[in-house]
Amino acid sequence: MTGPTIVALGDSLTQGYGLMEQDGFVPQLRAWLAENGVDEVRVVNAGVSGDTTAGGLSRVAWTLTPQVDAMIVALGGNDMLRGTDPAVTRANIDGILAEADKAGVQVLLVGMQAPGNYGPEYKRDFEAIWPDMAEKYDTLLAPSFFVGFGEDAELGQMQQYFQPDGIHPNAEGVEKVVEGLGPYVLELIARIPDTGD
């Protein structure tokens, strides 16, 4: 019996930018799952550095092959960095989840917080996308890719977990990311219907 296949659709954070391959998000997630008794699962890295929600939407249909049972969607950071209109990001996430729905694929949607530098309206509209879409499509929702860092993590303490650019986590940082997201992925796996093969 082969276990389920999960695709991680994302940007450089998913892809493992600046890291040795084994230190990236997907390999560390695989290892974490194995340590937690799930070693029959296949996790596919569909992270593309610099990708936006528009990029994710353009490739989601061919990413969701019949072998795929579940998908982690971690996109939106590059939309935010570019100041993309939240309505555009919302429509793209909607489109990605509609494709997953059509393919009968379970989804873990990873939410995102916006900094205040685009103003309170942008922040409000952007951050509302993920809970709204999770509710619309009945997907699992993790509050953030960095949920493992805790809500009260001090920026000064955080720097040790990041590469010099201050955006991408280092190997230790990814370990904390995986510890935070791992339980959500276990829940995602539990939602996959048992095909009994």
CB-CB contact of 145 with 13 (8 Å): yes
Active site residues: 12, 165, 168
Estimate to the nearest angstrom the gap between the alpha carbon of 5 and the chain centroid: 15
CB-CB contact of 24 with 45 (8 Å): yes
- For the chain, domains (ranges, CATH) are 5-191 (3.40.50.1110)
Q: Print pLDDT tens along the chain (197 aa).
A: 478 999 999 999 999 999 999 999 999 999 999 999 998 999 999 999 999 999 999 999 999 999 999 999 999 999 999 999 999 999 999 999 999 999 999 999 999 988 888 999 999 999 999 999 999 999 999 999 999 988 666 656 788 999 999 899 999 999 999 999 999 999 999 999 875 54
Task: Please tell me the predicted confidence (pLDDT) of residue 1.
Answer: 46
Task: Please tell me the predicted confidence (pLDDT) of residue 3.
Answer: 86
Encoding tokens for residue 4?
């389920």
Task: Please tell me the predicted confidence (pLDDT) of residue 197.
Answer: 45
Task: Please tell me the predicted confidence (pLDDT) of residue 155.
Answer: 59
Three-point CA angle 150, 156, 162, nearest 5° = 75
Cross-sheet strand order for the sheet of 42-47: 42-47, 5-10, 70-74, 106-110, 140-142
What single-letter DSSP state applies at residue 169?
A: B
Task: Please tell me the predicted confidence (pLDDT) of residue 116.
Answer: 86
Length of the chain: 197
Encoding tokens for residue 165?
């650019």
d(CA 119, CA 101): 33
Task: Please tell me the predicted confidence (pLDDT) of residue 2.
Answer: 73
The HSE-up count of residue 34 (CA atoms within 13 Å, CB side) is: 9
Q: Pick from 6, 63, 2, 1: which is nearest to 191 by CA?
A: 6
How far apart, in Å, are the Cα atoms of 8 and each of 42, 83, 117, 155?
Answer: 11, 24, 29, 27
Task: Please tell me the predicted confidence (pLDDT) of residue 97.
Answer: 98
